[in-house]
Amino acid sequence: MSSNRRDFLKGSVAAAAVGSLSTVAAPGRAAASSQGDVVFQRRVTVRHDVDVFVAGGGPAGVAAAVAAARQGARVFLAERNSCLGGMGTAGMLPLFMPFTDGVHMLAGGVGADIQRRLQENGGTGPGSDVTIRAEVLKRVYDDLLLEAKVQFLFHAQLIAVESDAGQVSAAILSGKSGLFAVKARVYLDCTGDGDLAAWAGAPFEKGDEHGNMMAGTLCSLWADIDWSAVNQGGRASDESRLEDAIRDKVFTHEDRHLPGMFRVGQHTGGGNIGHTFGLDSTDERSITAALVGARKSLLEYERYYKEYLKGFAQMELVATAAQLGARESRRVLGDYVLNLEDFKSRAVFPDEIGRYSYPVDIHAAKPDRASYERYAEDFKNLRYGAGESYGIPYRCLVPQMLTNVLVAGRCVSTDRYMQSSIRVMPGCFITGQAIGVAAAMCAQQDCDTRGVSATELQRRLKHAGAFLPNC
Ligand SMILES: Cc1cc2nc3c(=O)[nH]c(=O)nc-3n(C[C@H](O)[C@H](O)[C@H](O)COP(=O)(O)OP(=O)(O)OC[C@H]3O[C@@H](n4cnc5c(N)ncnc54)[C@H](O)[C@@H]3O)c2cc1C
């Protein structure tokens, strides 16, 4: 839904979008449901004129906004949900993947601050330092942004960008009060889906060679779990009785992958349970179908937990997440595409902005045994020993064709293997922090995103706490 109109007036911007639904929708499906086009034009007030605009307040957006503000930049962040945190809060994810490689803190700086504050505020579940009590995490994020003096709004959705010759000149947002615009020197795409970069004209890839993407999950919160019974005699994996239940026809899909239930309170559990197959999180029609299906499938999992596993007999569903969990959508193509060979070689880059180590974790796109076995094989084999990691070059965060846009989080420039590793939240803190610092440098030095000195960026990132042992 990008527009190239250059029709600026003082304090307002004219936004135009033609056939808005069809431009955002997935190719093919849009044509099938198109009812013709409308021309849509509005004069929109510029409400914020800042150094750095951040679209999306998930782990990547929070880290980017705070890092930029800590460098002295004036930052505005727009979040479409009612809280910061993305999948870790609105998405009800029950836990963080590792912040370390088993030896070094990899998500140093903003990521480590968040982890420390979460623990200090009682935001992790009993006996764990990685499970998440989402309501505490929401407050941790609020405070972090307030302290850094980041301006932010909830229920503010990026719906379009104005751009010309690879340069974005305004972001168009939709809020309860109507449409408004934000102008910035640098625009940071932390939407998880690469909305801003794609609408501004950056090339991207999606899924495998057939367009298949990892299944999503609607996470959930459950009460009245007897955790002592669950853990009695050493807890077996939640997957341990799946074959029995599949044989007994408990499930509609023969899905052999069940990440499971995680203790987030005295009697509560956060469920990363069930998969939504065929999800395209850049298409609201696909999201709607997935939500409807996921809510139904939780009835099947409730039966499974109650009848096949110990300690869950009384469990009760409290809530499903406000944000459907999408593991994969667009991968915005940047000046470098991080790839499986880099994982295998524990790559070092001259422009690296951090290092990460989570295994290759490509959830199956289809619920058949062969797809599950391919996932399990990669997850077992494509992993590191303690102290090992791969470098993340700055070039992965710089979208091709664009001069004042940077990307962080799960949609950075990688192949599918690397996306499945770097997408977890500590990885998003690392890339988010890097683009925040880089964006502040662009604003201060009046340069575009390719004019940033890698050496100076690394110096600032190290000072902020990033793990950069090779420079
Ligand atoms: C089911 C599931 C389980 C997972 N399990 C784990 C786990 O156990 N541990 C772990 O560390 N990671 C896990 N991950 C991965 C991780 O949660 C995500 O990849 C990570 O949150 C991505 O961060 P992000 O900031 O890029 O995107 P998100 O967390 O999705 O945040 C993006 C934010 O941008 C906002 N946004 C999007 N579009 C717009 C727009 N147009 N305008 C305004 N705002 C917008 C969204 O509302 C959201 O708040 C899991 C992911 C899924 C889906």
Which pLDDT band, with edges at 50, 70 and 90, does 443 fall under?
A: very high
Q: Of 320, 341, 372, which one is at a domain's C-terminal end?
A: 320
What's the CA gap between 339 and 233, in Å, rounded? 42
Is 5 among the domain residues?
Answer: no
Is 2 among the domain residues?
Answer: no
Q: Does residue 327 have its Cβ closer than 6 Å to ligand 1?
A: yes
Instruction: Tell me the mean pLDDT in the region 280-301.
Output: 98
Question: For a substitution probing ligand 1, which of 187, 280, 425 has the most ligand atoms within 8 Å of its CB?
Answer: 425
Question: 88 and 56, same structural domain?
Answer: yes
What's the CA gap between 240 and 244, in Å, rounded? 9
**Total-model pTM:** 0.95
> What per-residue confidence (pLDDT) applies to 15?
56
- CA 184 – ligand 1 centroid, Å: 24
- CA 38 – ligand 1 centroid, Å: 32
Residue appearing with tokens 């700086």: 109
- CA 8 – ligand 1 centroid, Å: 34
Is 1 among the domain residues?
Answer: no
In DSSP notation, 283-312 reads -HHHHHHHHHHHHHHHHHHHHHHHHHSTT-
> What per-residue confidence (pLDDT) applies to 28?
36
Question: 112 and 245, same structural domain?
Answer: no
pLDDT > 70? residue 17: no
What's the CA gap between 398 and 406, in Å, rounded? 5
Q: Does residue 111 have its Cβ closer than 6 Å to ligand 1?
A: no
Instruction: Tell me the mean pLDDT in the region 81-106.
Output: 98
Which pLDDT band, with edges at 50, 70 and 90, does 14 fall under?
A: low
Residue appearing with tokens 């605009």: 53
Is-contact 48 152, C-beta < 8 A?
Answer: no
Question: 242 and 177, same structural domain?
Answer: no
Q: Does residue 190 have its Cβ closer than 6 Å to ligand 1?
A: yes
| Paired sense of beta strands 178-189 and 330-332, if any | unpaired
What's the CA gap between 68 and 187, in Å, rounded? 12
From atom 4 of ligand 1, which residue's Cα is the shortest distance away? 93
Give residue-wise pLDDT tens across range 207-239: 999 999 999 999 999 999 999 999 997 888 999
Question: 427 and 296, same structural domain?
Answer: no
Give residue-wise pLDDT tens across range 110-129: 999 999 999 999 999 998 99
Is-contact 1 24, C-beta < 8 A?
Answer: yes
Question: 188 and 273, same structural domain?
Answer: no
Q: Of 289, 320, 351, which one is at a domain's C-terminal end?
A: 320
Q: What is the Cβ-side half-sphere exposure of residue 281, based on CA atoms within 13 angstroms?
A: 25
Q: Does residue 157 have its Cβ closer than 6 Å to ligand 1?
A: yes
Is 34 among the domain residues?
Answer: yes
**Residue 242 carries which side chain, given as an amino acid letter?**
L
Number of domain units in the chain? 2
Question: 197 and 88, same structural domain?
Answer: yes
- CA 370 – ligand 1 centroid, Å: 28
Question: 96 and 16, same structural domain?
Answer: yes
Is 214 among the domain residues?
Answer: no
CATH number at residue 359: 3.50.50.60
Domain holding 344, by residue range, is 12-208+330-464
- CA 87 – ligand 1 centroid, Å: 4
Is 110 among the domain residues?
Answer: yes
**C-alpha to C-alpha distances, 470 to 98, 213, 441, nearest whole angstrom:** 21, 34, 22
Give residue-wise pLDDT tens across range 383-429: 999 999 999 999 999 999 999 999 999 999 999 999 999 999 999 99
The mean predicted confidence, pLDDT, of the chain is 93
Question: 203 and 159, same structural domain?
Answer: yes
Question: 258 and 203, same structural domain?
Answer: no
Q: Of 259, 286, 320, which one is at a domain's C-terminal end?
A: 320
Residue 155 gets which letter from DSSP? S
Question: 296 and 445, same structural domain?
Answer: no
Residue appearing with tokens 């007994």: 248
Question: 44 and 129, same structural domain?
Answer: yes
Give residue-wise pLDDT tens across range 130-169: 999 999 999 999 999 999 999 999 999 999 999 999 999 9
